[in-house]
Amino acid sequence: MTVDTLPYTTFYKAKKGIWSWLFTLDHKRIALLYLYAIISFFLVGASLGILMRLELLNPGKDIIEPHTYNQIFTLHGVIMIFLFIIPSIPAIFGNFFLPLMLGTDDVAFPKLNLLSFYLYVIGALFALATLVFGDGPADTGWTFYAPYSVKTGTNVTMSVLAAFILGFSSILTGLNFIVTIHRLRTPGMSFNKMPLFVWSLYATSWIQLLATPVIGITLLMIVAERVFGIGLFDPSIGGDPILYQHLFWIYSHPAVYIMALPAMGVVSEIIPTFAQRTIFGYKAIAYSSMAIAFIGYFVWGHHMFTSGMSGPAAIIFSILTFLVAIPTSIKVFNWLATLYKGSISIETPLLFALAFIFNFLIGGLTGLVNGALAADIHVHDTYFVVGHFHYVMFGGTGFAFFGALHYWFPKIWGRMYNKKVANTAFTLFLIGFNTLYFPMLILGIMGMPRRYYDYLPEFTFWNQISTFGSWITVSSIILMLANLIIAGRKGKRTTDNPWNGITLEWQTKSPPPVENFTKMPELPEGGPYNYPNAKKA
C-alpha cells in the first residue's frame, strides 16, 4: 500500500478508551493532554490572581490574611510561570504542529515525549501538594530568593522540587524538538525553508536545553541549604545571597524568551496567512529568533541592579540589555511591513496577533525603562515591574496563546467556532487586560511597592480600576473558552484549510490522520510564505 491509498482515520478515532490516551505516543494526542492540563492550571492560577485583586480592592484587609496573601502570590507565580506560560505554546502547539509543519509523522522520540508529559504532571502535583502538606505553600514569591527561602517555615522544599521536576520536562521537550528539526524535515525543506514557528521553537529548545539545568541545580542547592545548612546562600553561615540571584536569573531571564519566542513564532504564522502575503524579511525574523535566544543569556544581571551587585557589573548588564531590543524590534517592523499592501482579512486570530504587537510594544518599552540603570533604581520592586511583566507575558504570550488556539482550532478539531462570539470575547479581553494592568504601571511610578498586602490611601483609585479590569478579563476568558468548548463539540464542520494557509499543516485533513498525511506534502515553491494570490507590490 502506498501512502496515497492509505485510508483516512482521524487521530481521535484511531484508538478508543482512556488508556489509548494516557499511554499514547501520538504527538497530537500528547499535545491535547498538555492542552487540557495547561488550561486547567491556567484557570487555577487565574483564580488566585482574582483573589489577590479582590484583596487589593481597598486598603487594609478585605478577604484574606497577610500570610495567606503572601502564599497566594507565590503559588500564582509558580503556577503561571512553570505550569502555564513556559510549557503553553511549545508543549501544546509545538507538539501538535512541529511534525505537521515539517511534513513528518511524529517527533523524533515519541516515548520521551510522553515521559515529558508525565514529568509535567508529577511536577504540577508537587506544586499543588504544597497546599495540603506542611505549613502550606511557599511565601517567598516565585523567585525563592535566599536567605528568606532558606529560613521560612512554609513548604519551600516541595515547591522547588516541583520546579525541578518541571524543568526536566522542559529539557526533554527541548531535546526532542531539536533532534526532530535536525533529522525529520521533509525532503527539500532546508533550514531556510522552515516555517517561522519552527524557527522559534528551535531557538526556544536551545534555551530549554542549556539554561534549565542551571535552575535545577540552583533549586537543589536551596534544598541542601535548608536541610544541611551548608552556607551557600545564607550570609549568617558564610553564604552569599547575591550568588543565588545570579544563578536564579541565569536561567530565569533566558526563560522569559522560552515564554516569548514561541509566541513570536505564532504571530509570524498568523500575519502572513491573514495578509495573504509573503512575509517581509523571512531570514531577518528567523535569525532574530536565534539572536534573541543568544543575547538573552547575557542580560540576567538587569534583575539585580539594586541587589548589591557591583557597579561595573551593573553597567555592563545594562548595556547588554539594550542589545536585546534590536532583534525584537526587527520582528515588529517585519510584521508590520508584511501587512503593508496585503489582502488583509480581519479574523479572530489576526486580532489576537495585532493585540500581541500592541501589548508587547508596551511591555517591551517599559522593559527598557527597567533596563536603564538609573531609572530602574526608582521603579525596581514597584508595581511598574508587575505591570511590565504582565504586559510581556500575558499581553504578549497569553494573547499569542489564545491567538494560536483560534488559528489552529479548525485544524485540531475540524470544526469552526462562532466568530462573532470569538470577536466579542477578544474585544472584552483586550479592554479588560489593559484596564487590569495599565494602572499597575501608574501605581509603580507613584511608588507603590510590589508584593505588599496593604497600601496607602492615595493608591486606592488605581487599585480599584485594576480590580475592575480583572473582572472584565475573567468574564472574557470564560466567554472565549465556552465558545471554543461548544465549537469543539457541536461547531460547524469546516474545510481542511479555512484560512488559505500554505504551510504544510494546511495540506492535510482536519483533524489530521494518525500518520499526519495521507499523501506526501508538497513544499510551496519559493518558500513557506510565497502566497500564490499575493498582490505584487
Partner 1 sequence: MSDENTVHITSYKEHISTWAALMLLTFMTVAVSVFGAELRTLSVATAMIIATVKATAVGYYFMHIKYDPKLYKWMMGTVLALFVFFMIMLTIDYLTR
Binding site for partner 1 (CB under 8 A): 210, 242-243, 246, 250, 294, 297-298, 301, 308-313, 316-317
DSSP 116-170: HHHHHHHHHHHHHHTTTSTT-B--S-TT--TTHHHH--SBHHHHHHHHHHHHHHH
Whichever of 157 and 252 has its CB closer to partner 1, that residue is: 252
Helical H runs in 232-281?
A: 241-275
Question: Alpha carbon 310 to chain centroid distance?
Answer: 32
Whichever of 17 and 312 has its CB closer to partner 1, that residue is: 312
Terminal-to-terminal C-alpha distance of the chain: 46
User: Residue written as cell 525584537?
Assistant: 328
Whichever of 188 and 457 has its CB closer to partner 1, that residue is: 188
Whichever of 33 and 250 has its CB closer to partner 1, that residue is: 250
Rounded to a whole number of angstroms, the minimum distance from the CB of residue 309 to partner 1 is 5
Q: Are 471 and 464 within 8 A, CB to CB? A: no
What is the rounded distance in angstroms from the CA atom of residue 104 to the CA atom of residue 83? Answer: 28
Q: Are 26 and 106 within 8 A, CB to CB? A: yes
CA angle 405, 426, 472 (to 5 degrees): 120
Output Rg (C-alpha) for the chain, integer angstroms. 23
Rounded to a whole number of angstroms, the minimum distance from the CB of residue 51 to partner 1 is 38
Whichever of 308 and 526 has its CB closer to partner 1, that residue is: 308
Whichever of 307 and 460 has its CB closer to partner 1, that residue is: 307
Rounded to a whole number of angstroms, the minimum distance from the CB of residue 512 to partner 1 is 29
Question: Alpha carbon 273 to chain centroid distance?
Answer: 22
Whichever of 121 and 309 has its CB closer to partner 1, that residue is: 309
What is the rounded distance in angstroms from the CA atom of residue 468 to the CA atom of residue 128? Answer: 28
What is the rounded distance in angstroms from the CA atom of residue 92 to the CA atom of residue 86? Answer: 11
Whichever of 147 and 281 has its CB closer to partner 1, that residue is: 147
**Neighbour tally for 8: CB within 10 Å:** 12
What is the rounded distance in angstroms from the CA atom of residue 433 to the CA atom of residue 466? Answer: 9
Rounded to a whole number of angstroms, the minimum distance from the CB of residue 311 to partner 1 is 7
**Neighbour tally for 182: CB within 10 Å:** 11
Rounded to a whole number of angstroms, the minimum distance from the CB of residue 102 to partner 1 is 18
